[in-house]
Structure 1
């Protein structure tokens, strides 16, 4: 009987994600090449601010940067910043931008999934039926 109460208490405390949780909305973005560097475009809105960036590839250590104290405000129609990260041909990358806006119900996670071939061309990965801005 004691086991039942312990197990029941664990379930009450832990919970599961549901409609009331504030999970970020994932928005998929395409990448193009601009001045020999990858360019992630997102239609920024007034009040948008980048709170974090994470860049992953299959070989190197991930790049992570948080902007808790001084968020970065993206400009409409311009590439999202890479904050000095260097991309190499022949590798695949995934970039995540945490985006917040006081006028939005929940945060957004902008995701760009792409590869740079050996001829320095950007190849966007398939997103299936996901929305691409």
Structure 2
């Protein structure tokens, strides 16, 4: 009896996997140059709409901008609306976008959203602006945690 009680206690304390515990990987986003500006495209499914866009400068991941646009539908061949972001040359960026489905949310189907990520650097080339995909940097665990002062929010009114 004690062994059974011990096993039950261990399971309760460690937790059991449930619908909220599943790992959902990020999907790849594509970045190209269109009209001499970066153009990020994703592959939406069904009624998915753009929910949020995060743009990080990769060096230390210290600066982050969060675009929370009014939800809009995007097609697979259409550039995401990022014209308001001041991209700089020779800076590596991590670009993340979350698409969400209102139908899945209302039906309580998990996951109701999917994330897309790409990492790139912009540079000036012989024929104009060029984009180069970059690999993620390993984390530096010796850095202190970020403060909330380093987080910037760009609302649709500022765009």
TM-score by length of 1: 0.69
Extract unaligned runs of 5+ from structure 2: 1-8, 137-159
**How far 1:105 sits from its partner (Å)?**
4.1
- Please say if 1:20 is aligned against 2:29: no
Give the structure, 1 or 2, with the largest relative contact order (CA under 8 Å, sep 6 or more). 1
Structure 1 outlier segments of 4+, above 6 Å = none
Shift in alpha-carbon separation, 1:89–1:46, aligned structure 2, 3 A: same
Give yes or no for contact 1:44–1:77 (8 Å, CA) kept in 2: no
- Please say if 1:122 is aligned against 2:128: no
Paired residues, number: 115
Give yes or no for contact 2:31–2:118 (8 Å, CA) kept in 1: yes
Root mean square deviation of aligned Cα: 3.0
Q: Cα deviation per residue 1:10-48 (whole Å; 9 max; x = unaligned)?
A: x84x858x4622544310122110011111111223301
Higher-helix-fraction structure? 2
**How far 1:116 sits from its partner (Å)?**
0.8
In terms of Rg, which structure is larger? 2
Partners of 2:83 and 2:47 in 1: CA distance: 20
Partners of 1:86 and 1:26 in 2: CA distance: 25
Extract unaligned runs of 5+ from structure 1: 1-7, 128-133
- Please say if 1:64 is aligned against 2:63: no
Give yes or no for contact 2:55–2:95 (8 Å, CA) kept in 1: yes
- Please say if 1:46 is aligned against 2:46: yes
